Structure 1
Amino acid sequence: MKRFGLIGAALALALSFGNAQAAHVLVVLSDSDHLELKDGKTFRTGFYLNELMQPVKALLDAGHEVSFATPLGRAPSLDRGSVDPMYFGGDAQALRAHQALLDKLALTAPNKSPVLSLERVAQIGYDRFDAVYVPGGHAPMQDLLASPALGRLLSDFHAKGKTTALVCHGPIALLSTLPDAAGFAAALAAGRQVSAPPQWIYRGYRVTVISDREEEIAKPQLGGGAMKFYPQAALQAAGVRYQSNAEPWTPQVVTDRELITGQNPASAPGVAAELLRRLR
């Protein structure tokens, strides 16, 4: 409890504005700095800068409190390919401002990072948080989709109807709530036909995630490798009602009950706006 108290106090003092109506948002990131591909290849990755920091900056600017967690409490990794003005509308100054805030938070500093483990979050109590946000980058495909600790957190938020926002590859984390998430992911990777139990908590939800088409367009980024499966196909197999923009890389935000999902990096500001609207 002491560690959480210090972290919460530091964030509140340094980065909030004393809003009496402030909410407390938990941002969940991956521990992984890579994604395992087909044929034993790997791809160095992490979180996308804009997908994390545009919503985080918007939350802090609005006076809300933000805490960070990964399954194991490790400092998350930044996907260096996302440090590019194109993800900030071509605005190099905006890129620098968001990167400066990331540096101020020290999230990626192994010995300074304020990141909690999801076990610690459970000890603190899920009721301490008003919303959860999961950004993308490829890393969630490595661990968040099958994290039992994340599955317990999301199941609790679902049961209480608490706002759950995810963007780009982040929505793959919804699979962590499956009874056998690891087995589901392994079957997908092996190319076997799978389906989630009829009682899966997100079955029938309208959801978006980076599309199969966008994954194919971005495939050269993998350096000759190939993903074991795409998140759109995985979530559709689990039973969501997938929604996508006709034009790749254009913003798309879908809300259904407690869920807010964004399709791609360009959707992060829209997810942030909807999250802020819910918190008001």
Structure 2
Amino acid sequence: MSKGKVLVAGSNANRIEIRGGGTGPTGQYLNELVVPVMALVDAGYDIAFATPDGSKPHIDPASDKVVHFDDEKAYRRAREFYDTSPVLNKVSTLRALIDGGLDQYDGFFAPGGQAPVVDLMQDGDLGEILRFFHAHSRPTAFLCHGPIASMAALPRPKEFRAALIAGDTARAAELGKGWPYAGYRMTVYSRSEEKPIEEQILHGQLYFDMPSALTIAGAEVNTGPDFAPHVVEDREMITGQNPRSDHPLASALIAALDRRRVNTKASNVSSAEKVSP
């Protein structure tokens, strides 16, 4: 029997803007998507997978390597899961899940790779989803660059992102008002971790870094040592810093979902006792 259902939001981006014009390759990181989803499935949770346009996310080639996994066997298992599992091959649009009713979902997860920086952070449907999960205090997890997707919950996320790209910090700070997660402690891919990707893969610099963007909107950002596992929990939000945080974040999310399940059952029993004759 299923323990509940988790909404997983993916990105459709495969290019990201770089300073001076042009774009570089991007996508979702294979381990950041698959490792937590596999852990959720193994723990007994169902998955509803969605992206803005309803197509399957592009995997960043830089992540499609054994180095991001425990060993060759783990990599092969993850790759096969991404390629063949119905869990990740039945993709809905975010809007379709909203229209189907968000109350059926017990938790939320968004993986990283730089792709969410392009589309998810300014997606209005994702903003609606996140505001629902925040209002109902349901476990909400983001990994690596994933926390930047929480910007979608801003009143005007597209304008906020445009201000960041323009380097207009004052304007971004003004547009950052009203963010539901202001004051939350969280982590995200650090500026120093970003540099090797910019130098070796993008061959250019991003218009803004993730910690600064979250800080401008009011987050209390805490980053640990580069490329070491680091997870931060504050209220319903769970954030992981980098690809190495995949397993710890999955464990933290499952624990939060299990706690909610126990608390919901206890609340239902208490309510039933109160109405019993």
Q: TM-score of the superposition, structure 2-length normalised? A: 0.88
The question of 1:203 aligning with 2:182 is answered: yes
| Correspondence list, 1:110-189, <5 A | 113-189=89-165
Deviation of 1:182 (Å): 0.7
Which 4+ runs in 1 deviate beyond 6 A?
Answer: none
Which ranges of structure 2 fall in alignment gaps of 5 or more residues? 259-277
The question of 1:213 aligning with 2:192 is answered: yes
For 1:92, which of 36, 60, 72 is the aligned residue?
A: 72
Deviation of 1:151 (Å): 0.4
- What is the root-mean-square deviation of aligned Cα atoms in Å? 1.4
Report SS of the residue matched to 1:249.
coil
- The one-letter amino acid of 1:35's match is I
Contact persistence 1:36–1:42 (CA under 8 A): yes
Residue 5 of structure 1 corresponds to none
Report SS of the residue matched to 1:38.
coil
Residue 270 of structure 2 corresponds to none
In 2, Cα distance between equivalents of 1:177 and 1:37:
24
Residue 43 of structure 1 corresponds to 24
Residue 267 of structure 2 corresponds to none
**1:107–1:30 Cα change, 3 Å:** farther
Mean alpha-carbon deviation: is it higher for 186-195 or for 218-227? 218-227
The question of 1:275 aligning with 2:256 is answered: no
The question of 1:75 aligning with 2:75 is answered: no
Deviation of 1:72 (Å): 1.7
In 2, Cα distance between equivalents of 1:61 and 1:197:
38
**1:106–1:37 Cα change, 3 Å:** farther
In 2, Cα distance between equivalents of 1:197 and 1:35:
22
Contact persistence 1:144–1:176 (CA under 8 A): yes
In 2, Cα distance between equivalents of 1:168 and 1:190:
24
Residue 53 of structure 1 corresponds to 34
In the TM superposition, what whole-angstrom CA distance separates every residue of 1:75-97 from its partner, at most 9, and x where no partner exists? 211111101111113x1110001
Report SS of the residue matched to 1:43.
strand
Deviation of 1:107 (Å): 7.5
In the TM superposition, what whole-angstrom CA distance separates every residue of 1:117-169 from its partner, at most 9, and x where no partner exists? 11101110111111110000111010001001000000000000011000000
**1:206–1:239 Cα change, 3 Å:** same
Deviation of 1:54 (Å): 0.6
In 2, Cα distance between equivalents of 1:215 and 1:197:
23
- The one-letter amino acid of 1:254's match is V
Mean alpha-carbon deviation: is it higher for 73-82 or for 37-46? 37-46
Residue 240 of structure 1 corresponds to 219
Counting helix residues as a fraction of each chain, which structure ranks higher? 2
- The one-letter amino acid of 1:152's match is E
| Structure whose alpha-carbon radius of gyration is higher | 2
